[in-house]
Amino acid sequence: MRIGFFVTCLVDAMRPSIGFASVALLEAAGCEVTIPDAQTCCGQPGFNSGDRTSGTALGLAFLRDFESFDAIVAPSGSCIGMIRDYPALFTDDLALQARFNVLIAKCYELSDFLVNHAPKPLSAGQLNLAVSYHDSCTGLRQLSVKAQPRFLLQQTQGIELREMKDAEICCGFGGSFSIKLGDIATQMADKKCTHALETGCDAVVGGDLGCLLNIEGRLRRRGDQHTQVKHVAEVLAESLVNTQLEQS
Amino acid sequence: MKISSEQFKGNARKQLANEALQSNLSRFGGGFADRRRDAVVKVDDFEALRDRGASIRAEVLENLDYWLLKFEAEAQRRGTQVHWAETGAEANQILLNIARNAGVQRVVKSKSMVSEESGLNEVLTEAGITVTETDLGEYILQLANEPPSHIIAPAIHKSREEVSDLFEKHHGTPRTDDIPALCEEARGQLRPHFLAAEMGVSGGNFLIAETGSVTIVTNEGNGRMVTTLPRVHVAMTGIEKVLPTLEDLSAILRLLPRSATGQDITNYVSILTGVRDEGALDGPQENHVILVDNGRSRLLGGDLHDALRCIRCGACMNHCPVYQNIGGHAYGWVYPGPIGAILTPAFLGLEKALDLPQASTLCAACEVVCPVRIPLPDLMRVLREKELTQGLRPWHEQLSIRLWRWLALHPGLYAFAARWGTRVLRWLAGRDRLLHSLPGLDGWTDGRDMPAPQGETFRDQWRKKQAAERKIIPIRVDQSLPEKTAGLKK
């Protein structure tokens, strides 16, 4: 299965390790991974700020870069959610819209892809870590990503999943919201941190880097320097490396 | 009602620092949401019910003129007088005229959000008419001289202690913190007003076209007394509240209380039709309905049309993390929360409420509970688009969006910008690899650090790895597509 991997702009710039972890997981799940070099962004920052052209122009760019693959995977529910909205932006060109409909049917959030659509299931890794999973909004509500990352975490030997209170409530990121209305965003992030820490977890884990930066930023400002904040791909890739080390 | 939606950011900041409010919000926070969750699972297929609710409301709005005229004809046939008001001020004037003609000096009111829109109480008071709010929450707010902060629980921002203080001050009775005792006290205070008032003013949850009836949905019983004891009853409501039939009402009534308070049904559902029958013992001798537009018809057929489906259950605010952190007053007008973020700019004008459509993470917690499936995040996005295209956003925001889009459409330049941007950020970060302040991004860094980029961008690292290991994958170019920006309206 030929996978086009959409890195997403945040992972590309801020935390490349999530990208490498995702590629490792996809390969472990039997995929041939390609990373089109011309990819940039899905357009969501502009689109959600009211710039429709960001959605249409970058949607066309995305179509050009990714249409030829068997499936397209991104380590973000948020970006895949934006991509799934593309067809609605092309109501005046039915042929193009049809192509977008074909495209979006094969676009997946990483954990969803690994559990439900990958050529072979991901083998269980090993990692001693108590984690609490934060549900990112678009993944949860638009893509029904809820059980998939938990399944992958729970099949890992040594991982203990501790559910936090209000795991489904937004952390306050919301793209430019986190800057435009920073006071409110900070208080939302603060509550998320409190609920995560109440579980006594070693790591807050999520599937969207935007939320993770928001949560980590608030944790550090609160003076917490030790609670890890990780993408689910990083945790899983690490757990697989441990298993491979044991076997070799 | 005094409008402060223009100062949303300042309002929100004040409310975040308001310890009493924060404590009240966290004490009840999520209470209605939990109750809704428990209530909807008891219904066989609540999602199908939401579909039904959405389609009933959507179909009414398709032919709103027809259903309103039908309502008017049926109401008139049963002795109800129907009045049409284009604005809130006009509605107030109509009501004042009715009061004057009937020699009214005392008015009792049950909850009406439309009368909050029009500022009815101030107008009546200025005309020398005594107005008493009889919904417990509204009564408390009348004593406190505050606007509601929630559409179904108007005094949700007040603690029992604050209510005790108010009652002690205004009633001159011994202080009590006991909630049943406080309710009893309010009941005792209100009774003489019910008995003395010549006019009762209510809202109207729904207008039933086939019978010309006004439906009100309440929990306290005050609505019944307001609409039946005084000799004149006036219902003031929005033109969008019409439903074709009682059958439609019964479907909507399965949705409304469950979505609002998690009740299977409210304590009272009143269907008020016509005037007192000859020889009957109760009911108003004069019955009026004022149908208020106040900006609603402007939304019909436009890109905010779907917001008119709203049945005012409050589920969107009960589930909104932004509302739950700042309360309803911050929104600065009658309707707070996600629906307020759409209705306030729609009714008052976008320039009066620029921050409201931005006051959302678009988390969609509202959308998935809305009983009539209003696409609230999409409508907020529509308003954001209007703000941008009408040049109502700050110049630096407009510029940065354009610049960002231009870069994102030029992959080489974008990669270059990402490469250098991450280098600068890493250089600015301290030894702890955190950015504690960033010029222009103080909205973020005032309350949070920004973790610095890890190192080189993913794609730079990947390209090097590819070059070392194998070949670079060429970009596939599809000639059948138009150029990235060609043919697109700027």
Q: Report d(CA A47, CA B267) in Å as an integer.
A: 45
Alpha carbon of A11: minimum distance to chain B alpha carbons (Å): 7
pLDDT band, very low/low/confident/very high, at B478 (cuts 50, 70, 90):
low
pLDDT band, very low/low/confident/very high, at B353 (cuts 50, 70, 90):
very high
Phi-psi bin for B272: left (phi > 0), alpha (psi -120 to 50), beta? beta
Q: Report d(CA A230, CA A215) in Å as an integer.
A: 10
Give me the half-sphere count of Cα atoms (radius 13 Å) on the Cβ side of residue B366: 31
**What's the pTM value of the predicted model, to 2 decimals?**
0.95
pLDDT band, very low/low/confident/very high, at B28 (cuts 50, 70, 90):
confident
The CATH number of the domain where B106 resides is what?
3.40.50.10420
Q: Report d(CA B278, CA B260) in Å as an integer.
A: 38
Residue B375 lies in a domain: no
Segment B222-256, tens digit of pLDDT = 999 999 999 999 999 999 999 999 999 999 999 99
Q: Report d(CA A162, CA A47) in Å as an integer.
A: 35
Q: Does A193 touch chain B (CB under 8 A)?
A: no
Segment B116-148, tens digit of pLDDT = 999 999 999 999 999 999 999 999 999 999 999
pLDDT band, very low/low/confident/very high, at A246 (cuts 50, 70, 90):
confident
Q: Which two tokens stand for residue B104?
A: 């009214």
Last residue of a domain, one of B242, B268, B298: B298
C-beta atoms of B401 and A7 within 8 A: no
The pLDDT value recorded for residue B488 is: 43
The pLDDT value recorded for residue B472 is: 52
Residue B380 lies in a domain: no
Size of interface A-B (CB pairs under 8 A): 234
Going by the DSSP 8-state scheme, the letter that residue B185 receives in this structure is: H
Domain range A126-247, its CATH number among 2.60.40.1170, 3.40.50.11810, 3.40.50.720, 3.40.50.2300: 3.40.50.11810
Q: Report d(CA B417, CA B365) in Å as an integer.
A: 35
Contact indicator for A173, A210 with CB cutoff of 8 Å: yes
Beta bridge partners of A230: A205
Going by the DSSP 8-state scheme, the letter that residue B83 receives in this structure is: E
Q: Please determine, for residue B473, whether its predicted confidence score (pLDDT) is greater than 60.
A: no
Nearest chain A residue to B476, by CA: A65
pLDDT band, very low/low/confident/very high, at A248 (cuts 50, 70, 90):
low
Cross-chain CB nearest to A218 (options B408, B448, B490): B448
Q: Residue B464 is part of which domain span?
A: 409-469
Residue B398 lies in a domain: no
- Tell me the mean pLDDT in the region B469-486: 55
Q: Which two tokens stand for residue B212?
A: 């010309």
C-beta atoms of A48 and B404 within 8 A: no
Contact indicator for A79, A110 with CB cutoff of 8 Å: no
The pLDDT value recorded for residue B294 is: 97
Phi-psi bin for B120: left (phi > 0), alpha (psi -120 to 50), beta? alpha
Segment B338-349, tens digit of pLDDT = 999 999 999 999
pLDDT band, very low/low/confident/very high, at B470 (cuts 50, 70, 90):
low
Segment A150-199, tens digit of pLDDT = 999 999 999 999 999 999 999 999 999 999 999 999 999 999 999 999 99
Nearest chain A residue to B463, by CA: A37
C-beta atoms of A180 and B418 within 8 A: no
Q: Does B12 touch chain A (CB under 8 A)?
A: yes
Q: Report d(CA B271, CA B346) in Å as an integer.
A: 30
Asked if residue B284 and residue B419 are part of one domain, the reply reads no
- Tell me the mean pLDDT in the region A229-243: 96
- Tell me the mean pLDDT in the region B345-372: 97
The pLDDT value recorded for residue B430 is: 82
Nearest chain B residue to A34, by CA: B473
Contact indicator for B267, B219 with CB cutoff of 8 Å: yes
Alpha carbon of B300: minimum distance to chain A alpha carbons (Å): 21
Of A71, A74, A65, residue with least CA distance to A102: A71
Rounded to the nearest integer, the mean pLDDT of chain A is: 97
Last residue of a domain, one of B236, B266, B298: B298
Residue B24 lies in a domain: yes
Cross-chain CB nearest to B405 (options A48, A54, A186): A54
Q: Please determine, for residue B489, whether its predicted confidence score (pLDDT) is greater than 60.
A: no
Q: Report d(CA A242, CA A129) in Å as an integer.
A: 13
Q: How many CB atoms lie within 10 A of CB B41?
A: 8
- Tell me the mean pLDDT in the region B58-68: 98
Where in B180-221 does DSSP place strands (E)? 199-202, 206-208, 213-218
Segment B260-294, tens digit of pLDDT = 999 999 999 999 999 999 898 889 999 999 999 99
CB burial class (10 A; 0-12, 13-18, 19+) of residue A92? exposed
Rounded to the nearest integer, the mean pLDDT of chain B is: 94
Q: Report d(CA B371, CA B163) in Å as an integer.
A: 32
- Tell me the mean pLDDT in the region B16-28: 92
Domain ranges of chain A: 2-116, 126-247
Contact indicator for A225, A200 with CB cutoff of 8 Å: no
Q: Please determine, for residue B39, whether its predicted confidence score (pLDDT) is greater than 90.
A: yes
pLDDT band, very low/low/confident/very high, at B54 (cuts 50, 70, 90):
very high
Give the residue from A3, A11, A32, A40 with the most B CB atoms within 10 Å of its CB, the best one to mutate: A40
Contact indicator for A37, A232 with CB cutoff of 8 Å: no
Residue B51 lies in a domain: yes
Q: What is the DSSP string of B277-327?
A: PTT-SSS-SEEEEEEE-TTHHHHTTSTTGGGGG-----HHHHH-HHHHHH-
Q: Does A11 touch chain B (CB under 8 A)?
A: yes
Write out chain A residues lying below 8 Å of B367, CB-based: 141
Query: Number of structural domains, chain B?
Result: 2
Of B351, B348, B322, residue with least CA distance to B336: B322
The pLDDT value recorded for residue B485 is: 46
pLDDT band, very low/low/confident/very high, at B482 (cuts 50, 70, 90):
low
Q: Please determine, for residue B475, whether its predicted confidence score (pLDDT) is greater than 80.
A: no
The pLDDT value recorded for residue B281 is: 86
Cross-chain CB nearest to B322 (options A36, A52, A184): A184
The pLDDT value recorded for residue B408 is: 97
Cross-sheet strand order for the sheet of A157-161: A157-161, A126-133, A203-206, A228-231
Q: Does A234 touch chain B (CB under 8 A)?
A: no
The pLDDT value recorded for residue B486 is: 43
Q: Report d(CA A65, CA A53) in Å as an integer.
A: 18
Residue B331 lies in a domain: no
Q: Report d(CA B407, CA A50) in Å as an integer.
A: 18
Residue B346 lies in a domain: no
